Chain A
Amino acid sequence: MIETDFARTDLWFMLQGAGMTLALTFWAVLGGTVMGFVFGVLRAVASSWINAILGAVLDIFRSIPLLIQFILANSFKSIVGLDVSAFTVACVVLAIYTSAYCAEIVRAGVLAVPSTTRRAARSLGLTWWQDLRHIVYPIALRVSLPSWVGLTLGVMKDTSLVLWIGIVELLRASQVIVTRIQEPLLVLMLCGLIYFLMSYPISRLGAYLETRWRDDD
């Protein structure tokens, strides 16, 4: 017999979807931050033509809808006959997408360090690397961290688009339940609540970091 009430197993199904959302976010942010860090520092210190090329390439990922990036990556995977799961494709696409934004954040952070400070460090005898490590890094981190928190939030919301390539995350799980019990408002409200519970603490943290670090400089 077909059950048409919202059952406990439905809630569990949605929570599993939320787990998938978090897993995607985790890998995307991890990969994206590592790559973005490298790209960002490169853009801040490398010669202008490397900078221009890297900037232009990363800009592509910020100028094309993420949905289309997923579709392209997924079909490209089939074309070259790569045997990887949709989850891996989603993680790779999201990580590259994240790195494009993260690189800008890191670059802005590095460039926010006054050149006089860096010259002072160098004239005190610090090497180029020591200057980056002990002077630029701590100052840039303060500038960049609030935006990075914002980026993490943004990526978590953007993971909802993976439903198009057949991954059941929170939003898709809700849609599946809606199709069965025909109670869209209730299920979607619950889905929104879960999203809210996942992102609100992070957004508060971002706001806290921003005010705290603005006040004591």
Chain B
Amino acid sequence: MNYTFHWHQAFQALPAMLGGALVTIEVAVLSMLIGTVCGIALALARNTRNRLARGVATVWIETARNTPALFQIYMIYFGLGSLGIFVDSFPALLVGIAFNNAGYLAETFRGGLRAIPPTQVRAARSLGMSAPQAFRLIVLPQLLRTVFHPMTNQMVWAILMTSLGVVVGLNSDLTGITQELNVRTFRTFEFFVMAAAIYYLITKTVTLSARLLAARLFRY
């Protein structure tokens, strides 16, 4: 083994990489927000009688769950080009991950909704609550409890998935910046170890704070 490690360069690049980490977090959070909204809509659409809504939801969920996330990003970045829609790499990554999140979260929410007996809603209604009240005071707190852990997992997935942006040419997120530094210096190992450490810290922070939050939220 005749290779000299140059960690110094990697440490010099740390500020730039931390800047990239912010973009990574931004993409992950935005994609989770969009994914949650779409996921709830999909879960509700799958339970309606409307054939069209159910069909769209089924196709969306099955595609999101049965094809690679990278494929979904490719579809938006390259595939939409055939229709004359040209998407930049940042929105392609964001929409791709959001699409993926929505598919997985829809199943989570569907399971969560099924776990609440409909008799509870009926009981709430007969006690004089309005339908929105019953949803907000009876269904939602219990739903939150069952979906909290899967949502935390999905958040971690979203963070890890943001690294795929580099494959469609994104150069502003953590992996993208690391790749640019790598191309310039060929210190692949050092730079990517640094990136891996930052990813590890981000995901650990998310899981630990989620655990603390859960302990605070679900005390009873």
Indicate if the CB atoms of B200 and A60 lie closer than 8 Å.
yes
Which residues of the other chain, B, contact A66 by a CB distance below 8 angstroms?
Answer: 160
Point out the residue from B71, B78, B195 that lies within 8 Å of A160, measured CB to CB.
B71
Which residues of the other chain, A, contact B162 by a CB distance below 8 angstroms?
Answer: 65
Indicate if the CB atoms of A72 and B192 lie closer than 8 Å.
yes
CA distance A123 to B169 in the complex (A): 63
A51 within 8 A of B: no
Closest residue of chain A to B162 (Cβ to Cβ) is A65
Which residues of the other chain, B, contact A199 by a CB distance below 8 angstroms?
Answer: 66-67
Closest residue of chain A to B65 (Cβ to Cβ) is A203
Chief secondary structure at chain A's binding surface: helix
Which residues 153-176 in A have Cβ within 8 Å of B in the complex? 153, 157-161, 163-164, 171, 174-175
Which residues of the other chain, B, contact A149 by a CB distance below 8 angstroms?
Answer: none
Which residues of the other chain, B, contact A200 by a CB distance below 8 angstroms?
Answer: 62, 66
Which residues 142-175 in B have Cβ within 8 Å of A in the complex? 156, 160-164, 166-167, 175
Known: A64-B200, A72-B192. A188 touches B78 (CB 8 A): yes
Closest residue of chain A to B165 (Cβ to Cβ) is A67
Distance of A166 from chain B, by nearest CB (Å): 13
B74 within 8 A of A: yes
CA distance A156 to B161 in the complex (A): 15
Known: A65-B163, A79-B1. A192 touches B67 (CB 8 A): yes
Indicate if the CB atoms of B160 and A195 lie closer than 8 Å.
no
Indicate if the CB atoms of B175 and A67 lie closer than 8 Å.
yes
Which residues of the other chain, A, contact B204 by a CB distance below 8 angstroms?
Answer: 63
Distance of A105 from chain B, by nearest CB (Å): 14
B196 within 8 A of A: yes
CA distance A79 to B193 in the complex (A): 14
Indicate if the CB atoms of A203 and B66 lie closer than 8 Å.
yes
Indicate if the CB atoms of A63 and B74 lie closer than 8 Å.
no
Indicate if the CB atoms of A171 and B79 lie closer than 8 Å.
no
Indicate if the CB atoms of B66 and A68 lie closer than 8 Å.
no
Which residues of the other chain, B, contact A184 by a CB distance below 8 angstroms?
Answer: 78-79, 81-82
B69 within 8 A of A: yes
Which residues of the other chain, A, contact B83 by a CB distance below 8 angstroms?
Answer: 185
Distance of B115 from chain A, by nearest CB (Å): 13
Indicate if the CB atoms of B3 and A79 lie closer than 8 Å.
yes
CA distance A109 to B21 in the complex (A): 36
B101 within 8 A of A: no
Known: A63-B204, A64-B196, A185-B82. A195 touches B188 (CB 8 A): no
Distance of B92 from chain A, by nearest CB (Å): 12
Which residues of the other chain, A, contact B175 by a CB distance below 8 angstroms?
Answer: 65, 67-68
Which residues of the other chain, B, contact A67 by a CB distance below 8 angstroms?
Answer: 163-164, 166-167, 175
Which residues of the other chain, A, contact B70 by a CB distance below 8 angstroms?
Answer: 160-161, 163, 171
| Interface, chain A (partner B; CB < 8 A) | 60, 63-69, 71-72, 75-76, 79-81, 153, 157-161, 163-164, 171, 174-175, 178, 183-186, 188-189, 191-192, 195-196, 199-200, 203
Closest 7 CB pairs of A and B: A185-B82, A65-B163, A160-B68, A157-B68, A75-B188, A184-B78, A63-B203
